[in-house]
Chain A
Amino acid sequence: MDERGHERKGMDCDADIGAEHGATEHGVGATRRKLLLGGGLAAATAVVSIRPALANTAASVLNCQIPVPDPAKGSGQMISADGKLVPHGTKGAFPASGRPFSGEEVKAALRGGKSLPGTSYEQNRAYLNYIRRLQNGTSGFTCYASLQMPR
């Protein structure tokens, strides 16, 4: 365990999210707050999600496309098992997908129903890991984000 590494990360997280909670509510006080992770309630009951009425329709979400990888950023590169872009020829990595996947295909694959079309088991897993790592500004990110289903 890298003790210093964790400390640093913790502080980063505080800056990103904790600071916005308000120090008195969720921050670290002089005495450690108690925290109950289980509590006998299902995890789902701790989150209620509200989708805006004006959001894109479900149909357009399912027709959007996610290239694997983004041609602008990953041209000539391969996808590693954990979803990162790696140089061409990297052992154990997979070549780029010949075509982008639709939102519907990705949604089904993320739910574990069926693999992305034309992929092997390991390739499907690598591609899904790539998609899970998509960041804002990368082609396919908005499509991926819109697949998140509120309860």
Chain B
Amino acid sequence: MTGEARQYFRGAPDELLVRPLEGLTLIYHRPSGVTHIVDSPVPEILSQLDAEPCPASTLLARLARQYELEDGEGALDPLVAHLETLCEVGLARAVEPEAKG
């Protein structure tokens, strides 16, 4: 059960209130009442999440289309690490893929 196999998505759009602040971004998570102060690349990653779960590799492809990624080949692992962190604090969600394809 690796993070790479998980599929990531976001909750309802109105769950999050997002405001830029002095180069950082404040994200208020309405359901939990928690405010998160995040730095790049978190807002960029969140903006790629959709209501429909998709694997990290798809999110990476979306990011690569929009940004010039500086990580080269090694971008997937740090992306998965960020996504897992975001799931832990409730800003993103993940489902385990079905056991059989």
Contacts and interface: CB of A to CB of B under 8 A. Distances in A.
Interface in A27-67: 28, 32-39, 42-44, 46-52, 55
Interface in B16-61: 16-20, 25, 29, 31-50, 52-53, 58, 61
Contacts of B25: 21, 26
Contact of A17 (B43, B65, B66, B98): B43
B12 A135 contact: yes
24 contacts: A1-B61, A10-B65, A12-B50, A26-B43, A32-B66, A33-B67, A35-B41, A35-B44, A35-B68, A36-B71, A37-B41, A49-B35, A51-B32, A51-B33, A55-B33, A80-B98, A82-B96, A122-B99, A132-B93, A141-B31, A145-B90, A148-B34, A150-B34, A150-B36
* B interface residue count range (under 10 / 10 to 19 / 20 to 34 / 35 or more): 35 or more
Nearest to B80: A43
Interface of B: 11-20, 25, 29, 31-50, 52-53, 58, 61-63, 65-71, 74-75, 77-79, 81-82, 84-86, 88-91, 93-99
Given A20-B18, A32-B67, A142 B94 contact: no
B95 A133 contact: yes
Contact of A43 (B32, B63, B85): B85
A146 interface: yes
Given A12-B50, A35-B44, A43-B81, A148 B90 contact: yes
B72 to A, nearest CB: 9
